[in-house]
A and B are shown apart, each in its own frame.
Chain A
Amino acid sequence: MSIMALRLLLGIIFLTVVFLHLTKKNSGAVIAYSVQSLAIVLVLFNSFLETGRVSLLFVTLLAFVVKVILAPLFFVRLIKKNGLRFSVSTYLNIPLTLIIIAAITAMAHSQKLAPLVNIVPANHALLSLALSAMFLSLGLIINRKGALSQIIGILSFENSIIVFAVFAGLEQSPALQAGIMFDLFVWLVIATVFMSMIYRHFGSLDVTSMRHLKD
C-alpha cells in the first residue's frame, strides 16, 4: 500500500475522532467508531503485507472481529435496549470544541514533541497526526457527559495508540498486539455489563448522576 493510502487511512482516523467530538447521535458515534476501526484494520493488514508475518494476520483478523463487528454490535444492542438515541450534552459548545481541537492538534505538531514523533523520521507527519488523534480521544472523554460516548472515546484512544505503534515500527511484536486485543475484548465485555448495571441503577448514563458515589 502506498504512503498516500496510509496517509488517507490516518486522515480518516483523525477525522473520525473529530466527528466523534461533533456528533450528537449515539448511532453516529458508533458508525464513526466502526469506520475508524476499519481503517485501523486496514493499516494492520498493510503491515502484514509488508512483513508477511502470519501472527500479524491473526492480530488483524482478531481486530476486525472485535473492533469492526463485535464492538459496534454491542453498542447498537445497548442503544436499542435502553433507547439511547441521542448522546447527552458536552461541557463545551461546538465552536469552543473546534478551537480546542485546533489547539490540541497544534500542540501535537509542536517542536517540543518532535523527539517523540521522530522515532521513525520517514513517518514524522503520520506520527504527529496519530499523536493528535490520541490527544483528541482523551479530550473526547473529558468533554462528553454520556457514558457511551466516553467508552467510545476510550476505544478511540486505544485505536490511536495502535496506529501510533504501527507507524513507529512497533507492530513487529505480535505478543504486544495480541495483548492489546485481548485487553480490548475483555474490557469491552466488562464495560458493557458495567454500563447496563449503571443504567439499571441510575436510570441514566449521564455520569453527572453518579457524583454522590464519591462519598
Chain B
Amino acid sequence: MDTITNQTGLFVLLLLFSAGALGSLVLRKHDALSNEWSGLFSIAGSLWGLFFALSVIITGHDVSFAVETAFSPLFSLAFHIDRLSAFFIFVVSLIALFSSVYGIGYVKHFYKTYSIGVLGLFYNLFIAAMLLVVSASNGIFFLIAWEIMSVTSYFLVVYDRNDEGNIKAGFLYLIMTHAGTAFIILSFLLFYKYTGSFDFETVRANAALIPLTVKNAVFLLALIGFGTKAGIVPFHIWLPGAHPAAPSHVSALMSGVMIKTGIYMLIRIFLGMLQPVPIWWGLTVLAAGSVSSLLGVLYALTEHDIKRLLAYHSIENIGIILLGLGSALTFSSLGMPSLALLGLIAALFHILNHAVFKSLLFLSAGSVINETHTRNMEEYGGLIRFMPQTAFFFLVGAMAISALPPFNGFFSEWLTFQSLFKGIAVPDFSAKWMFILAAGALAFTGGLALACFVKAFGATFLARPRSPEVAHAKESRLTLRAAMGALAALSFLFGICSGYLIPFLESIGRDLDAFRNTPSFVSVSPEQSITAGGGFASVSAPAFLFIFIAVFIIVSFTVKYLINRSQRVKIGETWDCGTDLTPRMEITATGFARSIILIFKGVLKPSIQKEIEYNDSRSRYLPKTRTVILGISDVYGSYVYKPLREMITRLSLRTKDIQSGNINVYISYIFIALVIALFWVL
C-alpha cells in the first residue's frame, strides 16, 4: 500500500479523470464511443481513488508535496492528504464509481440530442475538481480547484439546455456559488494578513497570531461561504433548482458529494486550523443545523417534483451533519474532547451514509423520470408493477434516509442523538438549551422524513398509474440497476457493519490535532454492539438485523396468507353508482402532505387555490371537477433575496450616475484621485 500513498498515486488518479475528460471530447462525434470512453475512465479513476484513499486511511501515511510555480511565491500546487482528506476522496470516488456505471446506460437517452463528448468532459473534470478541492493545501490553489468544481457543475446543470427552467436554475447556482466564493476569498485574505501565508499548514501553525475578533470574522465568512455550497438555510436557494436540473447521475454526485466539500472545509478550518475556538461557534453551527434539518424536511414535504423533494432532503441531511459538527465544536470548547470526537464521528458517518443513500435515491428517481418523462409525482402511481427492482432500490434508499434500522442512516443519526443527549448534561446554560432544541429538531426531522418518504414511495410506486406514460414504463437497463443495486447493498452493509466502521472513523478524527490521543467515547463489543459513554446507550446492528429479518418474514407470510386465503364472494348493494376504481380516487402526494403543511403553515406560508368546474355553469349544484393547487410561497425570495436584489439594483443605478458620459467628469475623477493619492502618500 505504501507504493500507492505517494504523489504518483495522486497523479495517476487525476490523470485517469483527465484522460476521461479529454478523450470524451475528442470522440464527441461518436456518441456511443464518447460515452463508453468517459464511463470507462471515470470508473477506473473511481476505483483507483477508492484504493488510494483506503491506503491512506489504513496506513495513516500522509501524502504531502508541493509543486512550486513561477507566478508567485504565495501560490504553489500544494497537496496534503491526511486521513480526513482521504475520507472525502473515498466518498467522492465511491459515489463517482456508481454514478459512472449508471451514467453509461442513462446517458443513452441524450444521444443525438446533446453532445455526449461535452458531458463526458465536464463530468470527468467535475470529479477531478472535487478530488483537488479535498487535496489542496494552498488557499489560492484551493480556490482554483473550487472554481473549476463550480464552473464544471454549472455546465452540467445547464446541460439539458432546451428546458428554460434549467438555464434559470443554473444562473441562480452560478450567482450563489460565486457569492459564496467571495466570502471564502475574504476569509483566506484574513488568514494571509495575520499569518503571511495561504498555505493551510502554515496558517494552522500560526493560528495563535490571529486575534480573536479576526477569528470570529473568519468563522462567519467561512460559514456563509462554505455553507452556501453545502446548502445551509438560508443560503440554500440555489440547491432545489440546480440539483434536479442536472442529469440524474450528476444530481447524485452534486447532492451526494459536492455539497459535502463545503462541510469538509468547515471541519478543516474549525477543527483543524483554528483550534481552540469560542463556544458560540459550536452553538451557531448547532442552530444552523437545527434550522436546516427541520426546514429542509418541511419543504420536502410540500414538493411534488421528485428531484426537488430529494434536493430538499439534502438540505435536511446537511443540517443533521451540522448537528454532529456543532456538537464537536461545542464539546471541544468546553474541554470535552471525547464527546467532541463522538460528534465528529457522527458527522463523518452521516456524510458517508447520506452520500450513499442520497445517490441511490437520485439514481432511482432518474430511472423513473427516464421512463415517465416527468418529475411530477402526481403523474406517477403504480410503478412498482412496471419497475419492481427500481421500486425496491428506492424503498431501501427511503428506509435509509428515514433512519429506519438496520439501514445505515439509522446508525449515524443514533450517534448524532447520543452526542446531543450528552450535550444536555453540560453545565453551560446556553449550550444545554441549544442541545435540547437541537435534539428536539432532530427527533422532529426524523419523523417528518419518514412521513415524506411514505408519501414519495406511495405516490410513485403504489396504487394505480395516474398517467398514460406510467403504463408504458419498463424496468431500467442493466447498468442502471447494477449501480442502484450496489448502492442499496451498501446502504444495508454500512448499517450492519457500522460497528466495524466506527473505529475507522475514529482514526480519521484522531488525525486532527484537536483529537490526538483522545480516548474514545464509543466502544464496540465483539458482538458488534455499539455502546456510547460506558453504558449510557447501546445499539446492536446484528440484533436489528435479526429483528428486521424476523419481521420481514412474518409480515410477508401474513400478507401472503391474507391474499391467498379462500375468500367468499359477497353480493351486496353497489356503491359510488357502481363505478370502477380509478386513479382519481387515490390520495395524491399533495393530499397526503396537506395536513402536515397546514400544521406548519406559520413557517411554510402555503397558498391554496381551489378551482371548480360545473356541469352547468348557470346552476352551480353539480360540480364536474374540483382542483386544489397547494403552493408554497418563496419566503427567502420574498423576504431576503428580493429586497437584497432591489437594494443592489438601486445601488447600481446610483453608481451608474458616476458614469455620466462626460469626458470632463471622468478627468475630474482622475484629478481628484491623483490629489488624494498624493496627499495620502506624501
Q: Report which A residues bind B (CB closer than 8 A).
A: 91, 107, 112-116, 135, 138-139, 141-145, 150, 207-208, 210-215
Contacts and interface: CB of A to CB of B under 8 A. Distances in A.
B622 to A, nearest CB: 60
A214 B660 contact: yes
Contacts of A91: 664
Interface stretch (B229-237, B574-582, B667-675): B667-675
A142 B671 contact: yes
A142 B673 CA distance: 14
A214 B661 contact: yes
B567 interface: no
| CB-CB nearest 3 A-B residue pairs | A214-B661, A211-B661, A141-B667
Interface of B: 659-664, 667-668, 670-671, 674-675, 678-679, 682
B664 A145 contact: yes
Contacts of B671: 135, 138-139, 142
A211 B662 contact: yes
A97 to B, nearest CB: 14
Given A114-B682, A207-B662, A210-B663, 7 more contacts: A116-B682, A135-B671, A142-B667, A142-B668, A142-B671, A210-B661, A211-B662
A211 B670 CA distance: 19
A138 B664 CA distance: 10
Nearest to B656: A214
B656 to A, nearest CB: 9
A138 B674 contact: yes
B682 A113 contact: yes
Contacts, number: 46
A150 B659 CA distance: 19
B260 to A, nearest CB: 46
A138 B667 contact: yes
A107 B664 contact: no
Nearest to B665: A142
Contacts of B674: 138
B670 A138 contact: yes
Given A112-B679, A112-B682, A116-B682, A142 B664 contact: yes
A70 B667 CA distance: 26
Given A113-B682, A115-B682, A214 B668 contact: no
27 contacts: A91-B664, A112-B682, A113-B678, A115-B682, A116-B682, A135-B671, A135-B675, A138-B667, A138-B670, A138-B671, A138-B674, A139-B671, A142-B667, A142-B668, A143-B664, A144-B664, A150-B664, A207-B662, A207-B663, A208-B662, A210-B661, A210-B663, A211-B661, A213-B661, A214-B660, A214-B661, A215-B661
A113 B675 CA distance: 10
A53 to B, nearest CB: 31
A189 B457 CA distance: 76
A215 B668 CA distance: 20
Nearest to B678: A113
Contacts of B667: 138, 141-142
Contact of A150 (B663, B675, B679): B663
Contacts of B659: 214
A107 B675 contact: yes
Nearest to A208: B662
Contacts of A214: 659-661
